[in-house]
Chain A
């Protein structure tokens, strides 16, 4: 017949299921919230950074610079308007510019945006075709991995586009798009776009076969990569008199996450408070069990247990509570991020996945365990100082 301290600690916790469950639930919730925020922040930042990759500046129509970035780098907001290609060329051909990728927003297909661009856009995100070929003619499209999956598009399929970016009612039935290629997963915005050449977008809006006049040709934005750091200072002057602006993604995203961070900060404070509460609850739980089991502890001393042995067993109870809370918290945060992911994916078409444990989460778990042990260690000191004789006499 084998007994051990772990089993005794477990039996003691199991014999007061309500208080044990409360301690664990509080800690799990606190740890879960904090780690959920860590995960969400990490993944959002990751997604932002991946899409911003080497885009130093975005040239587009005047308006909110943040909107310009959101619309053209992340494809989540409406564009600020169009700019004349002839004006944009002045910037695109400037010696300070290493690479310039034009984007022309056209229509949508089942709410996925159709973007007219150049093959360099694919190369930029390192996207490769898994099927078919690149577009060669107007109205040939290459579809992102997600679009292909969700809309069920394959090479050879044809479809009509709907006017605008989200409207699905006004369908242009005079022009037929043909899928010529499908992109592999690049975990970038390309996954949720349909890509074609810029002429296609102009073509959709041709009227009665009249080609759009050279001078009237427009694009929505141009993604710029600088060759010279001075570009950031020089180029805005170049376009001062036009309806164009240049926005810096890094700065706009920073501004966004700073505002966003404020909300996260409040949530984090609440989560930390919940964690503090859970530690108080572990403290009370151990303290309570100490009071209720004073006689049992004295009894165990008469049966040969050292004071340290008893102290250790109380620490073990606190440790088990914390461990259960931390593990459950990790599960809570994963479930949370999965729920959040479906929400975000629906709304912004962004993937939040990758449930790997972050370094900061190890730190969080370790700290929670440590504080949980401490919450048991302080009341446990009474077990070390227990006056066995008096306790037994009082009973």
Chain B
């Protein structure tokens, strides 16, 4: 599960302080973060994943307070406990799809079960593309491969940053369903950050972010 308390952040000493509402999402639950562009959605997501350090407040994942970790520990912890689905999936282009799936396991030191990776690709309908280069896949296939990579190492939190904004209605439905199904399978807390209104009524647990409050 993931929980934030009293989170604030500023990019530089002179830039405005961003304040975020407290959030909580337990294992197997879902949380929708809504808000228009520019209200700090991505910033919040990066704070939640430890890519950014907050000015004040705490983020804790699976009972671990991120602020208590060194940079190196944080990298390792993130690799093991957090999966991120990006708006536009990126891959290490010199490796095959399957090898990209092995990256989180390799980089976090957890190792990767090839059978599990192949089974996951099969479920997502791209099993036949396992040995291909990521750039040979369509955008929709890449998005699905991105989901597989975010979940392959069974993280306790799955963060999805605008996972559907580039997709049409049918693909959106398909991708979000896959995301939910795979998060459930892994028993991960699913946090979806989006301005996509097609998703706004999907979850009861939702928080709407306000535009940046200058001088707060």
A residues in contact (CB < 8 Å) with B = 1-4, 8, 11-12, 14-15, 293, 295-296, 299-309, 388-389, 392-393, 395
Whether A8 lies near B92 (C-beta < 8 A) is yes
Whether A305 lies near B94 (C-beta < 8 A) is no
| B84 neighbours in A (Cβ, 8 Å) | 302
Tell me whether B99 is interfacial, beta carbon within 8 Å. yes
Identify which of A2, A296, A306 contacts B92 (C-beta below 8 A): A296
For the A-B complex with A1-B98, A11-B99, A304-B75 known, give 9 more contacts whose Cβ atoms are closer than 8 Å: A1-B105, A12-B94, A300-B92, A304-B76, A304-B79, A306-B76, A308-B72, A309-B107, A393-B42
| B94 neighbours in A (Cβ, 8 Å) | 8, 11-12, 14-15
Whether B90 lies near A306 (C-beta < 8 A) is no
Tell me whether B8 is interfacial, beta carbon within 8 Å. no
Given the contacts A1-B114, A305-B75, A299 and B98 also touching, CB distance less than 8 Å: no
Q: CA of A393 to CA of B49 in the docked complex: distance in angstroms?
A: 14
Whether B102 lies near A1 (C-beta < 8 A) is yes
| B51 neighbours in A (Cβ, 8 Å) | 301-302, 388-389, 392
Interface mask (B22-52 → A, CB under 8 Å = 1, otherwise 0) = 0000000000000000000011001001011
| A8 neighbours in B (Cβ, 8 Å) | 92, 94-95
Given the contacts A302-B49, A304-B79, A1 and B107 also touching, CB distance less than 8 Å: no
B149, closest chain A residue (CB): A303
| B90 neighbours in A (Cβ, 8 Å) | 295-296, 299, 395
| B86 neighbours in A (Cβ, 8 Å) | 392, 395
Interface of B is mostly: helix
Q: CA of A293 to CA of B104 in the docked complex: distance in angstroms?
A: 17
In the A-B complex, the 10 residue pairs with the closest CB atoms: A304-B79, A304-B108, A15-B94, A1-B114, A11-B94, A3-B106, A305-B107, A304-B107, A303-B104, A389-B46
A12, closest chain B residue (CB): B94
Tell me whether B78 is interfacial, beta carbon within 8 Å. yes
Identify which of B93, B102, B106 contacts A15 (C-beta below 8 A): B93
Q: CA of A300 to CA of B71 in the docked complex: distance in angstroms?
A: 15
Q: CA of A113 to CA of B106 in the docked complex: distance in angstroms?
A: 71
A-B residue pairs in contact (CB < 8 Å), sample of 26: A1-B99, A1-B113, A1-B117, A2-B102, A3-B99, A3-B102, A4-B106, A11-B94, A11-B95, A12-B94, A14-B94, A15-B94, A296-B92, A300-B92, A301-B51, A302-B51, A303-B78, A303-B103, A303-B108, A303-B149, A304-B108, A304-B109, A389-B46, A392-B46, A393-B46, A395-B90
Interface of A is mostly: helix
- Total interface residues on B, using CB and 8 Å? 38
8 Å CB interface, B57-102 against A: 71-72, 75-76, 78-80, 82, 84, 86, 88, 90-95, 98-99, 102
Identify which of B52, B103, B108, B109 contacts A389 (C-beta below 8 A): B52
Q: CA of A223 to CA of B109 in the docked complex: distance in angstroms?
A: 75
| B117 neighbours in A (Cβ, 8 Å) | 1
Identify which of A295, A300, A308, A392 contacts B103 (C-beta below 8 A): A300
A1, closest chain B residue (CB): B114
Return A283 CB to nearest CB of chain B, in Å. Answer: 20
| B46 neighbours in A (Cβ, 8 Å) | 389, 392-393
Q: CA of A127 to CA of B79 in the docked complex: distance in angstroms?
A: 73
Return B146 CB to nearest CB of chain A, in Å. Answer: 10
| A308 neighbours in B (Cβ, 8 Å) | 72
Q: CA of A306 to CA of B72 in the docked complex: distance in angstroms?
A: 6
Q: CA of A306 to CA of B80 in the docked complex: distance in angstroms?
A: 12
| B149 neighbours in A (Cβ, 8 Å) | 303
Return A395 CB to nearest CB of chain B, in Å. Answer: 7
B50, closest chain A residue (CB): A302
Return A207 CB to nearest CB of chain B, in Å. Answer: 84
| B49 neighbours in A (Cβ, 8 Å) | 302
Whether A3 lies near B103 (C-beta < 8 A) is yes
Interface mask (B95-135 → A, CB under 8 Å = 1, otherwise 0) = 10011001111111100111001000000000000000000
Whether A296 lies near B93 (C-beta < 8 A) is yes
| B105 neighbours in A (Cβ, 8 Å) | 1
Identify which of A11, A303, A388, A392 contacts B79 (C-beta below 8 A): A303
| A11 neighbours in B (Cβ, 8 Å) | 94-95, 99
Whether A299 lies near B75 (C-beta < 8 A) is no
Whether A299 lies near B76 (C-beta < 8 A) is no
Q: CA of A389 to CA of B54 in the docked complex: distance in angstroms?
A: 13
| A15 neighbours in B (Cβ, 8 Å) | 93-94
| A306 neighbours in B (Cβ, 8 Å) | 71-72, 75-76
Return A378 CB to nearest CB of chain B, in Å. Answer: 22
| B91 neighbours in A (Cβ, 8 Å) | 296, 299
Identify which of B42, B107, B112 contacts A300 (C-beta below 8 A): B107
B52, closest chain A residue (CB): A389
Identify which of B88, B103, B107, B114 contacts A395 (C-beta below 8 A): B88
